[in-house]
Chains A and B, each alone.
Chain A
């Protein structure tokens, strides 16, 4: 392994002087390009050198190869520029993505080796300027992991990689209230997870913000509090993009603030707002959940086999209540990586004495075989009646409806009207949320506390999974595979694996045809009635 790395190092160091004239060859494209693109073109190649360093060393003396590589770089840059132009407002991330896509495609062609060689060359070429620009070493060190990340974004979803989720409270605006600071981190780490829970937690945090708020001199509460709140909101949205319900709640709160008469004494105004928040939580979520559970229970009959996906709180409430009412039914929970939200649901239901079957989403066709009803939670419902929910929901709904001509298994969505949105979703690409792809890389399985993997067994088996991973994801040169042997998971070093991108998408969109019924606190509706109810519940 050490042998394979050394040539790469020597080649890159020896390439540095030869590369010195080369930047001039590379400048023409970079002049015509947005700066970000040329920057992103460099880091993308950084991980490559150790992997294919050997090839690079053998290629280097050949001038024809260099010409070829130059032409290739220009072509890639042109392609990147075209894509960037097409994407328009996609911004930095969008610009960098097409470059990655353009680069990652050639290796699949028979000319894989040549492409690998050119990549290593460019990597060696890209590195020196950064080293040369001495004062920015810290910045580049900090930026390096991020740049690697950008490179690893999946092209189709490129527009969704905005800024990375905040990892610390560093750099938060000084106006941000401690309660909001804490909530932000909880949201980020999925401690507070689920659309309703996030909405309630946000409102409660904002209540504390309002309680500790004093209007500065020279402004009125109605005007200043809104801007004060928007600091909190923008902080929260850097921790995790806001949920539909959060957005609706915030909109209602802002409306309530704006409706306060400026002449109202501050204490009264604050009390009014706190009451408003309490009422909002009670009406739109707590009581709404009870009403929904009540009407959903009526749809559960003895002998039903109910399939649900992941861990929806409202579905849990419904099933528990139905059980309490003495209905005899079975529950089949479908769950998925990486959040495993269904586990806690399964545990709660089993503790309550229900008959629970737990399986992951790949067993969906098996689970749906004896299902009689499907109950789904929602993250949001769009105005064209589509369900926006945890990724995998659409698959469950589709399996239920396509099983036998689409009449036998009703798909029922339980959703508060606060989750209704006036947006329209045609697919799950345009609007979605991307979480850190590292979440997909399994750590050591927490249940294996017995120390199953002994070092001897460890070195041999990981080769197998890696081969599987190679076959499915991308071709990996053998030396790099041997280099990664000690890693516990085949994905552990995915960032260093060329041509491998991980996608950790959070939501998907279920077509309205797959949803038979939406149970809300305002009654049961067909999905087509979502916009009407949304209009009514926001106007009143």
Chain B
């Protein structure tokens, strides 16, 4: 019977491509973060692929997750989502009762899917909670230095500007660090990441100054705090974030300005990097070349792209900001110190 259902499914639709789904989800909704897109893709996978036993489901999930992680150059963010979902599934399945291993699998499946959707909805709402927690940090007359294109930071700043309605409520300024490297590969001279947020803030009447990364140390004296986003929050409370965040963190620490990170709690990832070079991704930020190498490379361009693992383009590269540089993490489960992250993670995992 299982074979017939499988064959009909296979006949009905072409095999489900999790990577394409994930990319499509990210493209279609600019507000979607990587872990949530990953979870959504997995939920879609479960609805598409019929499975009749628990172990089959878990096996399918594991395979697709591994495939997804392999095909995406920077799997740190999405692995937070997939790990969370897998963990959630396992705990649900282990629970005794109707929905446990003894129960009817059909019921379990529908329960899983509906809960998966609930999970996604909650995750999307988490940004609202972050804004509620983080609003108090932006006070009248303060100057905030930020960087990158974090949606959490953007929504926090915009909500702070909105507060009490009307442009008169705006009493803070923003220093926006813009990376010279364009996010858009097709159009290298295009506008840098974060320009959209700058425009939105300016429209709300917030005075924004844009500076290049080289001017961070110069400008930090005028800033009262640094607020950054994160791609992933790791177990020791450090963050994996857009390249350049680490140096801002170091400078803020040296100058003595508080350094806050805004991140949803589903970005907490079970990863423990010991330093910059201990991240589970391939990125060639450092590329030592002599004149000879350059000449050689120009002779035979782009024949390496096939067999090498997916590499991260320079504009997407990340760095790791260690916990001792971070004053606090503003998350949807409250404002946490870096050391509280591991506690939160342990709560999720055990």
Residues in chain A within 8 A of chain B (CB atoms): 299, 373, 407-408, 410, 412, 516-517, 522-526, 528-529, 532-533, 536
What are the residues of chain B within 8 A of A524 when measuring CB–CB?
A: 235, 272
Contact across chains for B322 and A407 when beta carbons are under 8 A apart: yes
Q: Is B137 an interface residue (CB 8 A)?
A: no
Task: Give 10 A-B contacts (CB < 8 Å), ordered by A residue.
Answer: A408-B275, A517-B236, A522-B350, A523-B235, A523-B270, A523-B346, A526-B236, A528-B339, A532-B343, A536-B346
Quote the shortest CB–CB distance from A540 to chain B (angstroms): 8
| A412 / chain B contacts, CB cutoff of 8 Å | 274
The answer to whether A526 touches B350, judged by C-beta atoms less than 8 angstroms apart, is no
Chain A residues within 8 Å of B323, by CB: 526
Inter-chain contacts of A517 with B (CB < 8 A): 236, 272, 274
The 7 closest A-B CB pairs, nearest first, are A528-B339, A529-B342, A410-B274, A526-B236, A524-B272, A532-B343, A526-B342
Enumerate chain B residues within 8 angstroms of A407, measured Cβ to Cβ: 275, 322
Q: Give Cα A524–Cα B278 distance, bound, in whole angstroms.
A: 14
Q: Which residue of A is nearest B236, CB measured?
A: A526
Inter-chain contacts of B349 with A (CB < 8 A): 523
Residue of B nearest to A526 (CB): B236
**Known contacts A407-B322, A517-B236, A536-B350; is-contact A525 B342 (Cβ 8 Å):** yes
Which residues on B sit within 8 Å (CB–CB) of A299? 274, 278
What chain B residues lie within 8 Å of A533 (beta carbons)?
A: 346
- Tell yes or no: B237 within 8 A of A by CB: yes
Chain B residues with CB under 8 A of A528 = 339, 342
A526–B237 contact, CB under 8 A?
yes
Q: How far is the CA of A407 from the CA of B346 in the complex (A)?
A: 25
The residue on B at minimum CB distance from A373 is B274
Q: Which residues 239-275 of B have a CB within 8 angstroms of A?
A: 270, 272, 274-275
On whether the beta carbons of B342 and A410 are closer than 8 Å, the reply is no
B: residues with CB less than 8 A from A are 235-237, 270, 272, 274-275, 278, 322-323, 339, 342-343, 346, 349-350
B82 vs chain A, min Cβ distance (A): 17
Q: How far is the CA of A412 from the CA of B323 in the complex (A)?
A: 16
Closest CB in chain B relative to A304 CB, distance in Å: 11
Bound CA–CA A408/B322 (angstroms): 12
Contact partners of A532 in chain B: CB under 8 A: 342-343, 346
The listed residue with most A CB atoms (<10 A of its CB), out of B237, B322, B339, is: B339
Asked, given contacts A407-B322, A526-B237, whether A516 binds B274 with beta carbons under 8 Å apart, the answer is yes
In the complex, chain A residues whose CB is within 8 Å of the CB of B350: 522, 536
Given contacts A407-B275, A517-B236, contact A526 B346 (CB under 8 A): no
Instruction: Give chain B nearest CB distance to A487 CB in angstroms.
Output: 50
Find out whether the CB atom of B275 lies under 8 angstroms from the CB atom of A526: no
- Report if A525-B235 is in contact (Cβ < 8 Å); known contacts: A407-B322, A533-B346, A536-B350: yes
| Cα-based distance from A92 to B36 in the complex (angstroms) | 66
Which residues of A lie under 8 Å from residue B322 when comparing CB positions? 407
- List of B residues within 8 angstroms of A373 by Cβ: 274
Cα distance A51–B208 when bound, in Å?
83
- Note all chain A residues with C-beta closer than 8 A to B235: 523-526
CB A381 to nearest CB in B, in angstroms, measures: 14
- Cα A108 to Cα B343 in complex, Å, equals 53
Contact A529 B274 (CB under 8 A): no
The residue in B274, B322, B349, B350 that gathers the most chain A C-beta atoms within 10 A of its C-beta is B274
Once the chains are docked, how many angstroms separate the CA of A525 from the CA of B350? 14
Q: Which residue of chain A lies nearest to B339 when distances are taken between CB atoms in the complex?
A: A528
Chain B residues positioned under 8 Å from A523 (CB to CB): 235, 270, 346, 349
Q: A410-B274, A522-B346, A532-B346 are in contact. List 16 more A-B contacts (CB 8 A).
A: A408-B275, A517-B236, A522-B350, A523-B270, A523-B346, A523-B349, A524-B235, A525-B342, A525-B346, A526-B323, A526-B339, A528-B339, A529-B339, A529-B343, A533-B346, A536-B350
Question: What CA separation (Å) do A528 and B343 show in the bound complex?
Answer: 9
A533 and B275 CA atoms in complex are apart in Å by 24
Residue of B at shortest CB range from A410?
B274
* Nearest-CB residue, chain B, relative to A540: B350
- Within the complex, the shortest CB–CB distance from A519 to chain B, in Å, comes to 9
Tell me the complex Cα distance, A299–B342, Å: 19
**Interchain nearest-CB distance for B154 vs A (Å):** 30
A85: min CB distance to chain B, Å: 41
Complex Cα distance, B323 from A407, in Å, reads: 12
